[in-house]
Chains A and B, each alone.
Chain A
Amino acid sequence: MTQYQVSAVEKKFIGHHILVAILALAVGSLFGPLQAFEHAGWDFYTYLKPLIKSYYQGLTVHGVLNALVWTTFFIMGFLTFNVIFGLKRPLKNLTLNRVGFWLMVVGVVTAAIPILANQATVLFTFYPPLKANWAFYAGLTLVVVGSWVEGWGLFLTYRDWRKENPNERTPFVAFGSLVTLLLWQICTLGIAVEILTMLLPWSLGLIDNVDPQLARTYFWFTGHPLVYFWLLPAYISWYAMLPKQAGDGKMFSDSLARLSFWLFLVLSTPIGIHHQYVDPGVPPAWKFLHSVFTFGVFFPSMMTAFTVIASLEHAGRKQGGSGMFAWIGKLKWNDPAVASQLLAGILFFFGGIGGLANASYNVNLVLHNTAFIPGHFHLTVATAVTLSFIGISYWLVPYLTGRKLWQPKWAVAQAWIWFVGMIIFSNSMHVLGLLGAPRRVPLGLAPYVPAEWNSRLFQVGLGGAILFLSGAIYLVVMYKTATNKERVETEVEVPIAQPMQDPANGPVWLDRWAPWIYGALALIVLMYGPVLFEMIKNIALTSPGFRVW
């Protein structure tokens, strides 16, 4: 086997990203089950005082570490690997990428201090007028800026490759990674403006009050495409790696894959107002328009579902599978990287359905701010994304460290336990939401819980306990792998599924950046320009900060 050799220095650099990501997951995941247990009436927060002072402080730690830190570090590490390996060239400027990485690390520590000191119990959405210590906002800013800097390093690497290969199609894993990074650079402008022009000066005492409506609009400018920043790296793996791992399958359509990534870039940012259907300050016409475009994202999503499943079907039939569905059983379910990602994909079906319900201007009224929402995003970010990243780490960590995966059967069991735990947890959260249970509420203390919620609240706790077990097994497997004395005989093969058609025969416009970037920016200006112009023109810096914890 001959494959491109990523240098030892670069492997170590990528490994540092994965290490920070897993540490964040470890700490953040301690608090997830505590939320679930509280719902079931088992309040462990009482025993954590004075270290952790409230349910909401735990929820903040859980949300920030799991939804923001674990994902961002894993993604930056994985995408760095994809660009290097896909383009078959070293980083243009490793120092620049290192600066980005350390900015992110300093940012995490800076934000963590006020969170742990109970000075930033504002949850991971940090909506004003809840007011955190300035260090929380400064830390988040550094994380975002660091990720930008890392992205610039990868773009420079690509520029050099393009100069040397003017007529080549960008290899898909590098292409998908660069589109994801570009999406991130564009969409984080919202949160950057929110923090730098409002929240940071406010927390430093430079301005007295904020405009919560404008801040929420800035936040969701970033907040919705953030979902695609999480998902697209998983999609890269599902499209271009999983079919190979699952049974030596090929990618069904390279062109469809590229088109879907471009559509995600264009469509995922200018739709954030669908998170603000019940916000009084946003005109209904804009809510409706954003709703329509949100449904536009359904098309690249379905293209992804079709291409990925067809590629897996190709793998299953290559392994001797037949019939309408029997090929599914022929996929390599005993490989933990495969089992994790297949199970993540199965639950994502239901996450997608829930997402469409959330995005519907009318039925959203049933779901808004209910337990349905965390039920939904535990299927998306906590399963489609997280369980996929876990699956990727089952081959990536042995590849980076040269050490054998410790007890692959335990790793397979971990994926199944997560799957079962998440079904119990998430299903009960969805049902509770439909019954009217609010989100972000310590329901174990609520005096208004009707009897029909009780069995579901117990299931939330049960699901949380099972997920905790799964998370613990994952951490043990990763620790034992990283310290495993048994080394791989030869370098782990990077799973790359070749496309069925030569990408060189695909449309050239699928490898041209300018039209898609201009299209994305134009649509953002059209969909957000008038709304933001009106909000900024009529800015109402009227709300003081509140500390309710």
Chain B
Amino acid sequence: MAKKNKGDDEFHPTGTIAILAIFVITLIAIWTTIYMILVGRGGTL
């Protein structure tokens, strides 16, 4: 088993949070685009 070191305790995955935030924004944008196509074709709200 790897020893836990000080660096691990101080590690905060800020870049990961930023990437996942971009992912969620992209997800909402693409889903909404497809939803608007559905609405544009006469799908019920």
Contact = CB atoms under 8 A, between A and B. Distances in A.
Do A and B make up one complex? yes
Interface of A: 250, 252, 302, 305-306, 309-310, 313-314, 316-318, 323-325, 327-328, 349, 352-354, 356-357, 360, 362-363, 365-367, 434, 498-504
Contact of A252 (B13, B20, B37, B43): B13
Contacts of B19: 309, 325
B2 A362 contact: no
A354 B23 CA distance: 12
B16 A366 contact: no
Contacts, number: 81
Give the secondary structure class of A's interface.
helix
B20 A306 contact: yes
A356 B27 contact: yes
A323 B45 CA distance: 43
B21 to A, nearest CB: 11
How many chain B residues sit at the interface, stated as a range, is 20 to 34
Given A250-B2, A500-B4, A314 B13 contact: yes
Contact of B16 (A306, A501, A502): A306
Centre residue among A327, A367, A500 by max chain B CB count within 10 A: A500
A356 B16 CA distance: 21
A160 to B, nearest CB: 22
21 contacts: A250-B2, A306-B13, A310-B13, A314-B11, A314-B13, A316-B15, A318-B7, A323-B15, A324-B15, A325-B15, A325-B19, A352-B23, A353-B23, A357-B30, A363-B34, A363-B38, A366-B37, A366-B43, A499-B1, A499-B2, A500-B11
B13 A362 contact: no
A53 to B, nearest CB: 37
A461 to B, nearest CB: 25
A250 B8 contact: yes
A210 B27 CA distance: 40
A318 B31 CA distance: 36
Interface string B15-43: 11011100100110011001101100101
Contacts of A328: 15
Given A309-B16, A317-B11, A349-B23, 8 more contacts: A306-B13, A316-B15, A325-B15, A325-B19, A328-B15, A353-B27, A357-B34, A363-B31
A27 B14 CA distance: 44
A339 B8 CA distance: 25
Contact of A310 (B16, B27, B31, B43): B16
Nearest to B44: A362
